[in-house]
Structure 1
Amino acid sequence: MTSSPPSEFRRSLIALSILNFFLADARDGLGPFLDGFLATRGWEPFTLGVIATIGGVLAMLTTPVFGALVDASPYKRTLIILPVTFVTMMALWTLASPNGLSVFGGQSATAIVGAVIGPALMGLTLGLVGEARFSRQVSRNEFWNHTGNVASLAAIYAGTLLFGLHGVVGLMLFAALATIAATLAIEPKLIDHQVARGLVHHEEAEVPSGFSVLAGSKGLILLSLVLMIFHFGNAPISRLIAQAFSIQLGTPFRTTAITTGVSQLSMIGMALMAPWLIGRFGLAAIFVVALAALPIRGAIAGTFSSFAFIFPVQILDGVGAGLIGIVTPIAAERILSGSGRFNVGLAAVMTVQGIGASLSNVIAGWLTDLGGYGLAYWVHGSVALVALALFVWGRHDIAPRMPSSAAAADWPPRSAEETPA
């Protein structure tokens, strides 16, 4: 990080928090509301699964390219601002005219462009706070992101009651503008672009493709496989819940606001607790808790059909997906510490996990058509047991106890047993 007055650094950290708060609403367009919105307009679960799968595959294919772009680019703020603007435009198009072209075309374009936001935000964060503070700052980012989600959901719930669809449009525009303003408020000279790519000592390093980084590290491969299996199980459950109760209650935006809001409140709690939990029990233990939450979640959702049971189901989503969202970049940063390949490596992990998430949507739609929502919940929840077993087997490589910058000189990094604790 560049030497600068502490006041500038504090202002940039505040701007980063505000960015994460509003990005919760601005990065995904319609996000969790899409399925409920389209389901009430006659779209079938299988078709909605195909839409999600197409978007996931496109994002999966482009994410490694964007990871390499973030590693190489000194314009990380721009790589957040432009996608947010485009994603908002596509979401407004879908709301205005929910036909085949706007839904398939708009969501596909959103998936491609939106895939750059995650790597850009992680790179900006690492470059701003440095390696030593990265773990704690990731938790703070997640706290403000989920807090922003809850605020957005509450605002959409109230906005649709008062103004209908026009309220949703107004809130989307406001969130996009606020995200852009907060991004611009981060002082660019404070972002160390060498640190942002995980090159701690500023050595010159050739940045390879995402998959060559992936192939060079056992820990990164195992992390990717665990996340692929977990997201295969987890990704469709909230979508299916939104579909089922939106149709049952006839209020897609308000129903989705409630179900997603419970999950986000749980994630806020996890973000607040994560730094202490990681420090007290270690990164591996938090992975175990997160992975174990999904089978329980699927069993509850598959057994009970009353709306009241969405509360424990979505609380467990906060425990599982919430903690996974925090520990994933921390684990990747530890594995890749000193390599100069953090963003492209993390992007490769996100790509592989995207395979699981993308395939799950079509499978979930087929299972729902075959045996109802309950069957889909049971199958996808149970899949996480495989991810848990794989993690327990490879935990020393997936979740090393501390980063070792010395490993950068001898790529790939040594395993946890060979690295000093």
Structure 2
Amino acid sequence: MTSGAVVTPRAPSVFHRSLFALSVLNFFLADARDGLGPFLDGFLATHGWEPFTLGVIATVGGVLGMASTPLFGALVDASAYKRTLIILPVTFVTTMALWTLATPNGFSVFGGQSATAIVGAVIGPALMGLTLGLVGEERFSRQVSRNEFWNHTGNVVSLAAIYAGTLLFGIHGVVGLMLFAAFATIAATLAIDPKQIDHQVARGLAHHDGSEAPSGFSVLAGSKGLILLSLVLMIFHFGNAPISRLIAQAFSIQLGTPFRTTAITTGVSQLSMIGMALLAPWLIRRFGLATIFIVALAALPIRGVIAGTFPSFAFVFPVQFLDGVGAGLIGIATPIAAERILSGTGRFNVGLAAVMTVQGIGASLSNVVAGWLTDLGGYGLAYWVHGGVALVALALFVWGRHDIAPGTPSSTADR
């Protein structure tokens, strides 16, 4: 289907099957899109890799993914093959993760993670474009929350399965679960009926009768709201991105069980994110999108204070719960804000990709800084500094909140 094509009328049963398949896709994509994901640091730390080196790996991957994301966003806007843009990256990312597990040397780790970052960068924009094209802008806010609910639920189930799998089968359990998640993700993606995807709406055009054309790319540079949103997220992710990684490193070494320890710490934040995904539609309707951002941004400084003050493993639970509040709500609010800011321009996916790129700058730079701070003053110093950075993001958001989180012209927009 081309961008000017007329969408086939939606049969309710087919449409609902596609939405069900979208939920299943998000459930399994939680495990398939990031390869080793949160387990990488703990796995490599127990193989003698130092915090600074792990920070460099994360930074290199982040920079490469950051550079690729806008190109992939433009590709998603122009492409009528959004399902393919999910299937191919998932296959590649899984292959690279298995390579790293089999031979965790410098070539496989740096090469595999760099390639994963580049190819994996297309999945986020493709999933958002597919979602918007399926449900339309009026139902987009609620569907993003549903996507996040199933994504985090999938993460929790995956973490529990990995915990049990490593206990029973060791590293072979991890390999089996990764392969199963990849095959299930591909099957769910193929189950989405491509005729139900409106590719005009998927790129941020409200109509699909051929009367509108996408705005020029200059609309992105001229959007005050998009620029401020990008800066707020860059600062937030600079503060938030390394904390869970550092926790995984510290307690994997201390307890000597990288996969099970990371499963516990990550599982707490994922359970919290499930709660946030369930609450988010109501919170947005009741208090507005701006309030969601404020709560999310305020959670990070508190998280940093607790992590920096109390080094006991017991305090991982409130620290990771706050990660679910902050990162969970930000993950829901960001595409909704971008869709509102860019509504009618036809540049939603590339605009969202540009936001993800700028926030990726913060996340990537933070990894080297966090490694340096850890070497300088221990994990506690890194927690304090990165948690405190979020205060700057909070102040910037409060100043520009009307541009970053605009309201909607229709009361149905948050359904």
Which whole-Å CA distance do the structure 1 matches of 2:98 and 2:167 have between them?
A: 19
Match of 1:87 among 89, 93, 100: 93
Using the size of structure 2 for normalisation, the TM-score is 0.96
Does the CA-based 8 Å contact 1:23-1:179 persist in structure 2?
A: yes
Is residue 2:22 matched to residue 1:2? no
Is residue 2:175 matched to residue 1:169? yes
Shift of 1:206: 4.4
Residues 204 and 366 (structure 1), Cα distance of their counterparts in 2 relative to 1, 3 Å cut: same
Is residue 2:401 matched to residue 1:395? yes
Which whole-Å CA distance do the structure 2 matches of 1:214 and 1:368 have between them?
A: 37
Q: Which residue of 2 aligns with 1:243?
A: 249
Q: Which residue of 2 aligns with 1:97?
A: 103
Q: What secondary structure does 2:139 align onto?
A: helix
Does the CA-based 8 Å contact 1:50-1:362 persist in structure 2?
A: yes
Shift of 1:139: 0.1
Does the CA-based 8 Å contact 2:214-2:345 persist in structure 1?
A: no
Q: Which residue of 1 aligns with 2:49?
A: 43
Q: Which residue of 2 aligns with 1:410?
A: none
Is residue 2:314 matched to residue 1:308? yes
Does the CA-based 8 Å contact 1:234-1:294 persist in structure 2?
A: yes
Match of 1:205 among 207, 210, 213: 213
Q: Which residue of 1 aligns with 2:234?
A: 228
Shift of 1:214: 2.8
Does the CA-based 8 Å contact 2:204-2:347 persist in structure 1?
A: yes
Q: Which residue of 1 aligns with 2:353?
A: 347
Q: Which residue of 2 aligns with 1:285?
A: 291
Does the CA-based 8 Å contact 2:159-2:263 persist in structure 1?
A: yes
Which whole-Å CA distance do the structure 1 matches of 2:180 and 2:395 have between them?
A: 44
Which whole-Å CA distance do the structure 2 matches of 1:389 and 1:214 have between them?
A: 23
Match of 2:222 among 203, 216, 225: 216
Does the CA-based 8 Å contact 1:228-1:353 persist in structure 2?
A: yes
Q: What is the identity, as a one-letter code, of the residue corresponding to 1:68?
A: A
Shift of 1:162: 0.3
Q: What is the identity, as a one-letter code, of the residue corresponding to 1:101?
A: F
Q: Which residue of 2 aligns with 1:366?
A: 372
Listed as ranges, the matches of 1:127-142 within 5 Å are: 127-142=133-148
Does the CA-based 8 Å contact 2:238-2:363 persist in structure 1?
A: yes
Does the CA-based 8 Å contact 1:131-1:195 persist in structure 2?
A: yes
Q: What is the identity, as a one-letter code, of the residue corresponding to 2:288?
A: G
Which whole-Å CA distance do the structure 2 matches of 1:4 and 1:100 have between them?
A: 50
Shift of 1:124: 0.1
Q: What secondary structure does 1:349 align onto?
A: helix
Shift of 1:205: 2.4
Deviates more, 1:213-222 or 1:100-109: 213-222
> What is the RMSD of the two structures over their aligned residues, measured on CA atoms?
0.9
Match of 2:38 among 20, 32, 54: 32
Is residue 2:273 matched to residue 1:267? yes
Which whole-Å CA distance do the structure 2 matches of 1:311 and 1:391 have between them?
A: 28
1:108-148 deviations in whole A, cap 9, x for unaligned?
00000000000000000000000100000000000000000
Q: What secondary structure does 1:194 align onto?
A: helix
Shift of 1:403: 5.3
Which whole-Å CA distance do the structure 2 matches of 1:249 and 1:132 have between them?
A: 48
Q: What is the identity, as a one-letter code, of the residue corresponding to 1:77?
A: R
Q: Which residue of 2 aligns with 1:412?
A: none
Shift of 1:213: 3.8
Shift of 1:179: 0.1
Shift of 1:215: 1.0
Q: What is the identity, as a one-letter code, of the residue corresponding to 2:367?
A: N
Q: What secondary structure does 1:388 align onto?
A: helix
Shift of 1:201: 1.8
Shift of 1:33: 0.1
Is residue 2:163 matched to residue 1:157? yes
Task: Give percent identity, aligned residues only.
Answer: 89
Which whole-Å CA distance do the structure 2 matches of 1:138 and 1:229 have between them?
A: 23
Which whole-Å CA distance do the structure 1 matches of 2:263 and 2:216 have between them?
A: 41
Gaps of 5+ in 1: 405-421
Which whole-Å CA distance do the structure 2 matches of 1:263 and 1:391 have between them?
A: 24
Which whole-Å CA distance do the structure 1 matches of 2:219 and 2:335 have between them?
A: 15
Q: What secondary structure does 2:207 align onto?
A: coil
Q: Which residue of 2 aligns with 1:408?
A: none
Does the CA-based 8 Å contact 2:205-2:214 persist in structure 1?
A: no
1:304-338 deviations in whole A, cap 9, x for unaligned?
01000000000000000000000000000000011
Which whole-Å CA distance do the structure 2 matches of 1:206 and 1:160 have between them?
A: 50
1:388-420 deviations in whole A, cap 9, x for unaligned?
00000000000001158xxxxxxxxxxxxxxxx
Q: How many residues align?
A: 402
Q: Which residue of 2 aligns with 1:183?
A: 189
Shift of 1:208: 4.4
Does the CA-based 8 Å contact 1:127-1:196 persist in structure 2?
A: yes
Residues 31 and 208 (structure 1), Cα distance of their counterparts in 2 relative to 1, 3 Å cut: farther
Shift of 1:258: 0.1
Q: What secondary structure does 2:49 align onto?
A: coil
Q: What is the identity, as a one-letter code, of the residue corresponding to 2:213?
A: A
Residues 213 and 106 (structure 1), Cα distance of their counterparts in 2 relative to 1, 3 Å cut: farther
Which whole-Å CA distance do the structure 2 matches of 1:318 and 1:158 have between them?
A: 23
Using the size of structure 1 for normalisation, the TM-score is 0.94
Shift of 1:342: 0.3
Shift of 1:207: 5.9
Shift of 1:216: 1.4
Which consecutive segments of 4 or more residues in structure 1 shift more than 3 A? 206-209
